[in-house]
Amino acid sequence: MPELIGVSGGPTKPEIIAVSLFKLDIKDGDVFADVGCGTGLISIEATRLAKNLKIYAMDARDVAVDAATQNFKNFGIENAEVISGESSEVISNLEKVDCAFVGGTKNITAVLDALIEKGARSIIVNAVRIETVVRVIEHMKKRGIYDETVHIIASRSEELTGETYFKPENPVYIMSGKQKQ
Ligand X SMILES: C[S@@+](CC[C@H](N)C(=O)[O-])C[C@H]1O[C@@H](n2cnc3c(N)ncnc32)[C@H](O)[C@@H]1O
Residues in contact with ligand X by the rule CB under 6 A? 9-12, 36-39, 41-42, 58-61, 64, 86-87, 103-107, 111
37 is in an annotated binding site: yes
Q: How far is the CB of 98 from ligand X (least distance, A)?
A: 19
34 is in an annotated binding site: no
* Closer Cβ to ligand X, 71 or 161, answer by number: 71
* Closer Cβ to ligand X, 160 or 168, answer by number: 168
* Closer Cβ to ligand X, 41 or 120, answer by number: 41
Q: How far is the CB of 146 from ligand X (least distance, A)?
A: 20
Q: How far is the CB of 77 from ligand X (least distance, A)?
A: 14
Q: How far is the CB of 180 from ligand X (least distance, A)?
A: 26
Q: Under 8 Å CB-to-CB from 50, ≥6 apart: which residues?
A: 26, 27, 28, 29, 30
Residue number of the CB atom closest to ligand X: 104
- Residue 173 vs residues 110, 115, 124, 132, 148: alpha-carbon distances, Å: 20, 20, 10, 10, 10
12 is in an annotated binding site: yes
119 is in an annotated binding site: no
Q: d(Cα 124, Cα 9) in Å, to the nearest integer? A: 17
Is the previous residue joined to 171 through a cis bond, with omega within 30 degrees of 0? no
99 is in an annotated binding site: no
Binding-site entries for S-adenosyl-L-methionine: 12, 36-40, 59
Binding-site entries: 12, 36-40, 59
